[in-house]
């Protein structure tokens, strides 16, 4: 099947992207690694010995950054609906975060311990119907928030990808009830035309 004009444009943009070229040169699995790098550096998100859960982890760019920064001192548990090649220091669980069975395996890997940081770069497969896609994306954001509610230590942090639009303002308002500080970030590696932003909520309040 011939590629559409939009597919050709995307491929041209992708392979000329300086972050894509940089990731390839540095052995990183995705350009998304630079989004997390910037957010970590600017907000001092990581400390040695932290326990982190990475949702929507494949192909592993964020996990590579986490493993490099935390080394053997940290604990990293990752999950994705797609398979992900192993990364030293990362426990990977292959499963659909929306399903109870996969969530149960993730919770079993935590062994009853709370975590310091929950990351979510989850996004739905896009249908091209904006109203449907935004609703699916917001559902994933809310699932990540609910997981953090149950598994973050008091004072812990949540970093989640969100697509701005219907429901995003209400979500931010809700987060401000749960966390001491909530900020909306647009890393340099996030394409300007994309409606994606990253919401950083720090200082999880006591339940």
- Annotation: binding site: 60, 62, 80, 96, 121
CA distances from 86 to 59, 67, 89 (A): 10, 12, 9
Return binding residues for S-adenosyl-L-methionine: 60, 62, 80, 96, 121
Residue range 10-66, pLDDT digits in tens: 445 555 677 778 878 777 788 899 999 999 999 999 999 999 999 999 999 999 999
Specify if 68 maps to a domain: yes
pLDDT of residue 1: 40
Which pTM does this prediction carry?
A: 0.88
Residue with tokens 């996004």: 123
Query: Domain limits at 42?
Result: 32-204
Residue 71's CATH number? 3.40.50.150
- Which candidate in 12, 22, 35, 161 is catalytic? 161
Q: Let me know if residue 91 belongs to a domain.
A: yes
Cα–Cα distance measured from residue 203 to residue 168, given in angstroms and rounded to the nearest whole number: 20
Active site residue 161: yes
Instruction: Confirm whether 22 is domain-assigned.
Output: no
Question: Is the distance from CB of 67 to CB of 76 less than 8 angstroms?
Answer: yes
């Amino acid at each position: 099947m011939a590629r559409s004009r939009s597919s050709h444009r995307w491929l041209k943009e992708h392979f000329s992207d300086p972050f894509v070229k940089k990731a390839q040169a540095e052995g990183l699995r995705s350009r998304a690694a630079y989004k997390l790098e910037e957010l970590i550096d600017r907000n001092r998100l990581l400390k040695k010995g932290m326990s982190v859960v990475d949702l929507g982890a494949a192909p592993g760019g964020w996990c590579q950054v986490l493993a490099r920064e935390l080394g053997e001192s940290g604990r990293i548990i990752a999950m994705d609906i797609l398979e992900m090649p192993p990364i030293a220091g990362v426990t990977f669980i292959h499963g659909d975060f929306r399903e109870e069975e996969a969530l149960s395996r993730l919770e079993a890997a935590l062994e009853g311990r709370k975590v310091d940081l929950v990351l979510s770069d989850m996004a739905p497969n896009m249908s091209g119907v904006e109203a449907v896609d935004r609703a699916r994306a917001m559902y994933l954001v809310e699932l990540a928030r609910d997981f953090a509610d149950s598994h973050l230590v008091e004072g812990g942090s949540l970093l989640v990808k969100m697509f701005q639009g219907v429901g995003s303002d209400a979500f931010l308002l809700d987060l401000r009830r749960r966390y001491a500080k909530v900020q909306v970030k647009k890393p340099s590696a996030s394409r300007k035309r994309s409606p994606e932003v990253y919401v950083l909520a720090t200082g999880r309040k006591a339940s």
